[in-house]
A and B are shown apart, each in its own frame.
Chain A
Amino acid sequence: MARGDPLLRVVDATRFYGGVAAVEGVSFDVQPGEILGLIGPNGAGKTTLVNLISGLTAPSRGHILFQGRALAGRPAHAVGRAGIARTFQVVRPFQGLTVRENVAVGAMYGRGGATRNAAQAFAHADSVLAQVNLTARATDPAESLPIAGRKRLELAKALAMDPALLLLDEAMAGLRGTEIDEAMALIRRIHATGVTILIIEHVMKVIQGVCDRVVVLDYGRKIADGPPATVMADPAVIQAYLGRRYAQAHGLAPATEPSA
């Protein structure tokens, strides 16, 4: 990989369900070391796009290149081993395993998994648990965690895979104010260790607080791409995504239409 090449390159990513395009013709790059935000209203195709990148869904058309190699159509486990880790919007702890075991699975099978035996995987899991502040709950069943804990566990599972690129699908949804601040600090700490991050988020404070750049989707298409401040001021984005309430609050749109 030459200097200056993007870590992830999405070219014309398209996915049809029946005749309906969930994502169509989306192209963007993720540069090494950046935190890229992916935003858009509900149903804009954000999660479909993450599914395409992580190999859970095969694209109908288009290419996805990771570190210069083609990913599109490769199975999810190959994507995971290549160094892309993701979290799920609806968290998926492995029930029946403890918190520590959940994280260890990531350490066993992620990018660094092949070189670790079970004991080494557990040692790595312990360091990740310390990083996300879950050490105290290590031996508890995963399903016993409260929602904030589950979100952190979801993140820890992904981190244990030693990813080069981390896809966070609404990692903050359902968290309260202080919990969001903690999570943002955590994301910055993870980023500081050299992990590139693609983050889907509804909480604007998070996008503005941590992202270097933002890509906006609407109805499956990319409508904007740029620094958060520029994108937020883009009339198309305001119209399509931020909606009346945000626009009204910032004096960017007329307060006329009644709520649907």
Chain B
Amino acid sequence: MNLVILIAGLTLSIVTAGRGPVLWRRGSLAALALLALAAPLITPNPLTLTAVYIAGAAAAGWNIIGGFTGYAAFGQAAFFGLGGYATAVLVARSAGSYGVPAPLALPVAGLVPALIAVLIGLVVLRLRGHYFAIATLGIGIAVRELVNNVDCVGVPGLTKPLFCLGAAGGIILPPVHRSEVAVTNLTFYFAALGLLAGGTAALWLLNRSKFGYGLRAIRANEEAAAVMGIQTTRFKVAAFAAGAALTGFAGGLQALINGSVLPDQSSIFDPYRSLEVILICLIGGVGTVWGPVIGALLLYAVQEALIGLLGSGDWRPVFFGAFVILLILFLPRGLQQFTTGGGGRRTWRTLWRNLTANRV
């Protein structure tokens, strides 16, 4: 059932993002909204869709720095994890945490990754190309290791610690609702939906704002952008922080769903997130408003179909790696190549052209 919803949603969002008649696009957007609102009634397991939305929102965060600004960040998992930890510290009721209600904690949780992104960005955004990419890859590892070693941080003169991360033990979160599981899951579903809708709206605004044009000018040519009066460093850091915040919100929500945060690789700092957000944007179109939505829907539709065929488990990442390779070879610019003109009968020829375009 989820697979059907994902495919329907994918079709509608492609039409919405495309260059068809306005009426078509508005109509499919309305249908998409309707489908998203009605989906939990149709499917037995809305948590799968919740995961899609969270992945999409995290990818929308990457899209700001990696897509619009053209800085290929490979450590977005760090911000996802930091968002999760910030939420956990606020929400948990153990020592060194604050017991804030989840709905209040979540908005604040985006600020922590943003703040840290500003500090990191001021340094690493001086690097370009390969050096920036791999430096951010290192951030993902370094941040997780740091969290793994921090238990409580205090301020001199204060008896109670400022915050506790629990080192290797992580933090356990209290249940969000005391009511039954189904209600809790529904709450998460709509929270994630809201986050993805908000993230997409943010990209839509960015796409037509002065700030967004500044970022795209930087992506195209940083020197030429600076000469035209764009404060490139400030813009890049702002984009990095905004992306970290959005990805951080997604991580915060994920922490609430998981009920705990741990510093090991299978938890909130899963380094796979760093690849996933890039992949989603590559599928849907890097630097486009609807890219994260389309990419997340397609990626998870494929995964859903695959679980149906192979079951979950060890083979999934194998397939996944193969999928990445094929995608890069045949559709390096993602599905947007089909949504914005072309397509139709020329599909196979387009794929072949993509494959041979950059051959030596």
Within the complex, are A and B direct neighbours (CB within 8 Å)?
Answer: yes
Q: Which residues of A contact B (CB under 8 A)?
A: 54-56, 75-77, 79-81, 85-86, 88, 92-97, 101, 104-106, 108-111, 113, 117-118, 121, 157, 161
Which residues 168-210 in B have Cβ within 8 Å of A in the complex?
208-210
Once A104-B213, A108-B213, A121-B210 are accepted as A-B contacts, the answer to whether A54 and B221 lie under 8 Å apart by CB is no
Q: Are A96 and B216 in contact (CB under 8 A)?
A: yes
Cβ B227 vs Cβ A97 within 8 A: no
Can you list the 6 inter-chain pairs with the closest CB atoms, starting with the nearest?
Answer: A80-B229, A109-B229, A94-B220, A76-B226, A92-B224, A81-B229
Please give 14 more A-B residue pairs, beta carbons under 8 A apart, in addition to A108-B210, A109-B210: A76-B226, A77-B226, A80-B226, A80-B228, A80-B229, A86-B227, A94-B217, A96-B219, A97-B216, A97-B220, A105-B213, A105-B225, A106-B228, A118-B210
The answer to whether A105 touches B214 (Cβ under 8 A) is yes
For B227, what are the chain A residues with a Cβ–Cβ distance below 8 Å?
54-56, 76-77, 79-80, 85-86
Q: Are B217 and A76 in contact (CB under 8 A)?
A: no
| Main SS at interface, chain B | helix
Q: Are B231 and A77 in contact (CB under 8 A)?
A: yes
B210 touches which of A55, A76, A117 (Cβ 8 Å): A117
Closest CB in chain A relative to B179 CB, distance in Å: 46
How far apart are the CA atoms of A97 and B226 in the complex, in Å? 17
The closest CB in chain B to the CB of A92 belongs to B224
Give the CA-CA distance A55 to B230 in the complex, in Å: 13
CB closest chain-B residue, reference A84: B227
Chain B contacts for A96, CB-based, 8 A: 216, 219-220, 287
Check A161 against B220 for contact (C-beta < 8 Å): no
Q: Bound complex: CA of A11 vs CA of B278, how far in Å?
A: 50
Min CB distance, A220 to chain B, in Å? Answer: 22
Total interface residues in chain B, CB < 8 Å: 21
Nearest chain B CB to A14 CB, angstrom units: 21
Judged by a CB distance under 8 angstroms, whether B232 is at the interface is: yes
What are the residues of chain B within 8 A of A86 when measuring CB–CB? 227
| CB of B96, distance to nearest CB on chain A (Å) | 42
Question: Across the interface, which residues of B come within 8 angstroms of A101, CB to CB?
Answer: 213
Q: How far is the CA of A97 from the CA of B214 in the complex (A)?
A: 11
> Is there an interface contact between A161 and B229, defined as CB atoms closer than 8 Å?
yes
Assembled-state Cα–Cα distance A183/B229 (Å): 25
Known A117-B210, A118-B208, A121-B210: A94·B230 in contact at CB below 8 Å: no
Q: Shortest CB–CB separation between residue A24 and chain B, in angstroms?
A: 24
Tell me the B residues contacting A by CB distance below 8 Å: 208-210, 213-214, 216-217, 219-221, 223-232, 287
Bound CA–CA A75/B231 (angstroms) = 9
**Residue among B217, B220, B226, B228 with most chain A CB within 10 A:** B228
What are 12 contact pairs spanning A and B, CB under 8 A? A56-B223, A56-B226, A77-B232, A94-B216, A94-B217, A97-B213, A97-B217, A105-B214, A105-B228, A109-B228, A118-B208, A121-B210
CB distance B228 to A118 under 8 Å?
no
Chain A residues near B219: list those with CB within 8 A: 96
Contact yes or no, A77 B229, CB < 8 A: yes
User: Do B217 and A105 have beta carbons less than 8 Å apart?
Assistant: yes
The CA-CA distance from A77 to B228 in the complex, in Å, is 6
A109 touches B230 (CB 8 A): yes
Our pick among A95, A104, A121 for the contact of B220 (Cβ within 8 Å) is A95
List the B side residues contacting A118 at CB < 8 Å.
208-210, 213
Q: Is the CB of B228 within 8 A of A161?
A: yes
A93: chain B residues at CB < 8 Å are 220
Contact of A157 among B208, B213, B228, B231 (CB under 8 A): B228
Q: In whole angstroms, how far apart are the Cα atoms of A93 and B219 in the complex?
A: 12
**Closest A-chain residue to B220, C-beta based?**
A94
Residue of B nearest to A160 (CB): B228
Q: Give A157 to B208 CA distance when docked, in angstroms.
A: 18
In the bound assembly, the distance between CA atoms of A77 and B236 in angstroms comes to 14
Residues of chain A within 8 A (CB-CB) of B226 are 55-56, 75-77, 80
Complex alpha-carbon distance, A105 and B227, angstroms: 11
Contacts of A85 in B (CB 8 A): 227-228
Q: Give CA–CA (A27, B224) in the complex, Å.
A: 26
Q: How far is the CB of B26 from chain A (nearest CB, A)?
A: 22
Q: Nearest chain B CB to A57's CB is how many angstroms away?
A: 11
Residue of B nearest to A54 (CB): B227
A108→B220 contact, CB < 8 A: no
In the complex, A75→B228 CA distance in Å? 11
Closest Cβ–Cβ distance, residue B282 to chain A (whole Å): 16
Q: Within 8 Å CB of B217, what residues of A?
A: 94, 97, 105
Question: For B208, what are the chain A residues with a Cβ–Cβ distance below 8 Å?
Answer: 118
Looking at the assembled complex, report how far the CB atom of A195 sits from the nearest CB atom of chain B, in whole angstroms. Answer: 16
Give the residues in chain A near B287, CB-CB below 8 Å.
96
Bound complex: CA A93 to CA B225 (Å): 10
Q: Which of B208, B220, B226, B227 has the most CB of A within 10 A?
A: B227
A88–B210 Cα gap in the complex (Å)?
23
How many angstroms from the CA of A95 to the CA of B221 in the assembled complex? Answer: 8
A207 to chain B, nearest CB (A): 24
A219 to B236, CA, bound (A): 38
B286 CB to closest chain A CB, in angstroms? 10
Give CA–CA (A76, B222) in the complex, Å.
11
Task: Determine whether the beta carbon of B221 is less than 8 Å from that of A110.
Answer: no
Residues on A with beta carbons closer than 8 Å to the beta carbon of B216: 94, 96-97
Question: Is B214 within 8 A of A94, CB to CB?
Answer: no
Nearest residue, chain A, Cβ from B233 = A75
A80 nearest CB across to chain B (Å)? 4
